[in-house]
Amino acid sequence: MAAASKAVVTVLGFDRKGIIARVSTVLFERGINILDISQTILDGYFNMVMMVDLSEPTCPFDELQSDLSALGKELGLQIRIQKNEIFEAMHQI
Amino acid sequence: MIQTNQILETLRMIDQEKLDVRTITMGISLFNCVCDDTRRLASRVYSRIARQAENLVKVGREIEREIGVPIVNKRISVTPVSLITGAVDDPKPIALALDRAAKETGVDFIGGYSALVPKGMTAADRRLIASIPQALSETDLMCSSVNVASTRAGIDMDAVRLCGKAIKDLAERTKTRDGLGCAKLVVFSNAVEDNPFMAGAFHGPGEGDCAVSVGVSGPGVVKRALENVKGASFDVVAETIKRTAFRITRVGQLVAMEASQRLGVPFGIVDLSLAPTPAIGDSVAHILEEMGLEKCGTHGSTAALALLNDAVKKGGVMASSHVGGLSGAFIPVSEDIGMIEAAACGALTLDKLEAMTCVCSVGLDMIAVPGDTSAATIAAIIADEAAIGMVNNKTTAVRIIPAPGKTVGDYVEFGGLLGRAPVIPVHPFSSEDFIARGGRIPAPLHSLRN
C-alpha cells in the first residue's frame, strides 16, 4: 500500500437527501480527490461506491476513516473506506 | 478497474459471510538465547520475543483497518522449548517467560512449549513433557504441542503414553474451567514446522531467525458460494470451492506481504485453511451439509470432506507465493457450530471423526470425552490418530478434553474462539495392556523412499 494509493469509499443504507454532498465535503476538506462515483438505489436502499485518490491527503488514513464512520453514524448509514488493494487482490489476477 | 458489484460482493463476504484472516503469526527462533542458567535463559527468551514482536499487534491492526478485513488473532510461535532447555534442569520458568512476553506484546496466543519426539526422547524432552500440565495450568496464553510420530520414524509409544497421562493431569488441574488446559495442548503425528494455527504452532528448527505467516479462514464464504449451485454435480461443486478458495487466499497473501514489509521480517507462508468459529455462518460442517448431507457425520461425510479439502488446496495454491502450514479444512468440534450440533444429536461420533481425519487437514480436534476416560484410552486414541498420519504421510493431531466430572450429554464451555462441545462417548473396552507395552511402532515400509 504505497503512498500514492487509491481507496474505495462505500456508503450503504437507506436513502436520504444530501448523502453525496456530505461525504464529498469530508473528502474535500481532507484534500482527497474523487476519481469515480457509482450509485444505485434499490427499494429505497442506497449503495454508493466512490474511488478516491489518497496521494495528497491532509490527514492520516485512520483519522479519515474515523471521520467518515462518524458521519455514517450521524446519517444512519454505514460508511467505510478501504484501500483498493483488497479489491484488486480478490477480483483481479 | 474494479466493478461496483465486485466491491459490494467483497463487502458482503466480510459482513455476512464472516470473511476474515484468522491469524498473523510471527515465528521467532530462540536458539540465540541458549545458555545453561535457567534464570538467564528465561530472561533472554522474554527480551528476544518482546523486542522482536513489539510492533506485531500494532501492524496487524493497521492492516486490518486499511483493508477492512478483520484479522482475528495475532500470535507468536517459537522454537520448541525442549530444544533450548537441554542444559537447564527445569523448563517451567521458560513457560512463564513466554506467557509474560505474550502479554507484553499484546498477542492472543504464544505457541512452542513443545517437544519433537517421534523417534525418542532426550532428557530435556522428558522434562518438558512432564512439566506440561503444570506449565499450561499456570499460564494463560501459552500453547503446547508434542510430535510423537512421523512417517519416517514411526510412533514413539512411550511418548504417547506420557501424553495420555499429561492430558488427564492437565484436565484435573484445570477442572474448574471444564479442563480448558487441554484445549492448549496438541499431540501430533508429522507436525509441520511453519504452522501458524494454535494450539499447535511452533517455529521449527529448520526455520530462519524470524518469519511472518498468515492463516486464512472463510468457511461462510464457501458455504454461500455453494448455495448458488444447489443440485449441481460434484464437478461444479469442486470448481466453485476452488474459485472461492483462490479469493480467500489472495486476501491472506496480501496481508502476509504487507505484514512482512511493515515489520521488516521475511514472509513465511500462507496456510490455506478453512478455519471455522463457533459463530453462525462460519462452519465447515455446514459446507458439508450444503453438499447434500442432512447432518455432518452421516454417510458421505468423509467423501464430502475429501472433496472440500482438496479443492481448497487447489484453489488456494495459485493465490500465494508460498503455501505451507497445515493447509486444508479443519474440523474442530467445539469451534464449529455445525459440528457441535452434529455431535449433540448423535450424527457425529468419535469413530466417524477418526475416519474424517484421514482426508482433512489435521485430526481429532477439540473433542470432549467423559471425565472418567482413562489415560490409557486417551493414549490409545492418540496412537490411532498417529497411525493414520504416519501411514498416510499427513499431519494428524489430537486435542482432546476429558471433561472433569462430566459425562455423555453434558457440555463443556470454553467461550470465545474455543467455543463449547457436547461430551461424546468413547469405547468402554480397555486399551491398558496395549499402552503399557511402550517402545516404538516401526515406520511403515513406504518411509524408505530413497
Residue-level pLDDT at B376 = 98
Cβ <8 Å between B3 and A91: yes
Query: What kind and span of H or E run contains B395?
Result: none
pLDDT at B256 over 90: yes
User: Across residues B91-96, what is the average pLDDT?
Assistant: 97
Residue-level pLDDT at B170 = 98
Query: What kind and span of H or E run contains B164?
Result: helix B157-173
How many domains does chain B fold into?
1
Q: Choose the closest CB to B10 out of A12, A65, A90.
A: A90
| Test the A interface: residue of B10, B13, B19, B246 with most A CBs within 10 Å | B10
Rounded to a whole number of angstroms, the distance from the CA of A15 to the nearest CA of chain B is 17
Residues from chain A contacting residue B69 (CB–CB below 8 Å): 86
Residue-level pLDDT at B401 = 97
Q: Are B65 and A65 within 8 A, CB to CB? A: yes
Cβ <8 Å between B67 and A85: yes
Rounded to a whole number of angstroms, the distance from the CA of B209 to the nearest CA of chain A is 26
Q: Longest Cα pair distance anywhere in chain B, in angstroms? A: 67
Residue-level pLDDT at A93 = 81
Q: Choose the closest CB to B66 out of A40, A47, A83.
A: A83
Reported confidence tier of residue A4, pLDDT bands at 50, 70, 90: low
User: Across residues B214-237, what is the average pLDDT?
Assistant: 95
User: Across residues B405-432, what is the average pLDDT?
Assistant: 95
Number of Cβ within a 10 Å radius of residue B415: 11
Q: Choose the closest CB to B10 out of A61, A62, A86.
A: A86
Reported confidence tier of residue B407, pLDDT bands at 50, 70, 90: very high
Q: Are B146 and B163 within 8 A, CB to CB? A: yes
pLDDT at B310 over 60: yes
How many domains does chain A fold into?
1
B48: left (phi over 0), alpha (psi -120 to 50) or beta: alpha
Mean pLDDT of chain B: 95
pLDDT at A57 over 90: no
Cβ <8 Å between A47 and B8: yes
Rounded to a whole number of angstroms, the distance from the CA of B328 to the nearest CA of chain A is 20
Whether B59 is covered by a domain: the verdict is yes
Cβ <8 Å between B2 and A83: no
Q: What is the ipTM of this complex?
A: 0.87
Helix %, strand %, coil % of chain A (to 5): 35, 35, 30
- CA–CA separation, B84 and B396 (whole Å): 25
Cβ <8 Å between A90 and B6: yes
| Angle in degrees, CA B405, B411, B416, rounded to 5 | 115
Please give the grid coordinates belonging to residue B265. Answer: 521480517
Whether A65 is covered by a domain: the verdict is yes
pLDDT at B17 over 90: no
Residue closest to A13 by CA, chosen among A22, A3, A1, A25: A22
pLDDT at A1 over 80: no
CATH of the domain at A14: 3.30.70.260
Number of Cβ within a 10 Å radius of residue B94: 29
How crowded is the C-beta side of A85, counted as CA atoms within 13 Å?
A: 23
Cβ <8 Å between B10 and A49: no
Whether A1 is covered by a domain: the verdict is no
Q: Choose the closest CB to B67 out of A38, A40, A86.
A: A86
Q: For the segment B108-117, what is each residue's pLDDT rounded down to a tens digit?
A: 999 999 999 9
Entry pTM: 0.94
Cβ <8 Å between A10 and B7: yes
| Angle in degrees, CA A62, A65, A71, rounded to 5 | 140
Whether A44 is covered by a domain: the verdict is yes
pLDDT at B409 over 60: yes
Cβ <8 Å between B251 and A83: no
What domain range includes position A65?
Answer: 6-91
User: B180-194 burial, b for 16+ CB within 10 Å, e for fewer?
Assistant: bbbbbbbbbbbbbbb
| Test the B interface: residue of A80, A86, A93 with most B CBs within 10 Å | A86
Interface of A with B (CB under 8 A): 1, 8, 10, 12, 38, 40, 47, 49, 61-62, 65, 80-92
CATH of the domain at B91: 3.20.70.20
Residue that wins the pLDDT comparison between A4 and B64: B64
Please give the grid coordinates belonging to residue B107. Answer: 498477542
- CA–CA separation, B439 and B160 (whole Å): 10
| Residues in contact with B367: Cβ distance below 8 Å, sequence separation at least 6, in sequence order | B333, B334, B350, B353, B399, B400, B401, B421, B424
Residue type, B324: G
Rounded to a whole number of angstroms, the distance from the CA of B382 to the nearest CA of chain A is 39
| Chain A residue whose CA is closest to B10 | A87
Residue-level pLDDT at A3 = 45
Rounded to a whole number of angstroms, the distance from the CA of B320 to the nearest CA of chain A is 11
- CA–CA separation, B367 and B333 (whole Å): 6
What domain range includes position B149?
Answer: 25-189
- CA–CA separation, B256 and B194 (whole Å): 14
Residues from chain B contacting residue A54 (CB–CB below 8 Å): none
Please give the grid coordinates belonging to residue B383. Answer: 496412537
Residue closest to B127 by CA, chosen among B77, B93, B168: B93
Cβ <8 Å between A87 and B10: yes
Q: For the segment B153-198, what is each residue's pLDDT rounded down to a tens digit?
A: 999 999 999 999 999 999 999 999 999 999 999 999 999 999 999 9
Whether B89 is covered by a domain: the verdict is yes
| Residues in contact with B219: Cβ distance below 8 Å, sequence separation at least 6, in sequence order | B18, B274, B275, B276, B282, B283, B284, B286, B287, B336
pLDDT at B424 over 80: yes
What is the separation, in whole angstroms, between the first and last Cα of chain B? 51
Chain centroid, CA B46 distance in Å: 24
Q: Choose the closest CB to B254 out of A65, A86, A91.
A: A86
Cβ <8 Å between A83 and B67: yes
User: Across residues A47-70, what is the average pLDDT?
Assistant: 91
Q: Choose the closest CB to A82 out of B4, B6, B67.
A: B67
Q: For the segment A25-34, what is each residue's pLDDT rounded down to a tens digit?
A: 999 999 999 9
Burial class (CB in 10 A: 0-12, 13-18, 19+), A39: middle
Number of Cβ within a 10 Å radius of residue A57: 18
Cβ <8 Å between B65 and A62: yes
pLDDT at A2 over 50: no
Give the A:B interface size as CB pairs under 8 Å.
56
User: Across residues B293-307, what is the average pLDDT?
Assistant: 97
Q: Choose the closest CB to A91 out of B6, B68, B254.
A: B6
Q: Which of A41-45, B112-116, B308-312 has the lowest mean pLDDT?
A: A41-45
Reported confidence tier of residue B342, pLDDT bands at 50, 70, 90: very high
pLDDT at B281 over 90: no
Residues from chain A contacting residue B221 (CB–CB below 8 Å): none
Reported confidence tier of residue B299, pLDDT bands at 50, 70, 90: very high
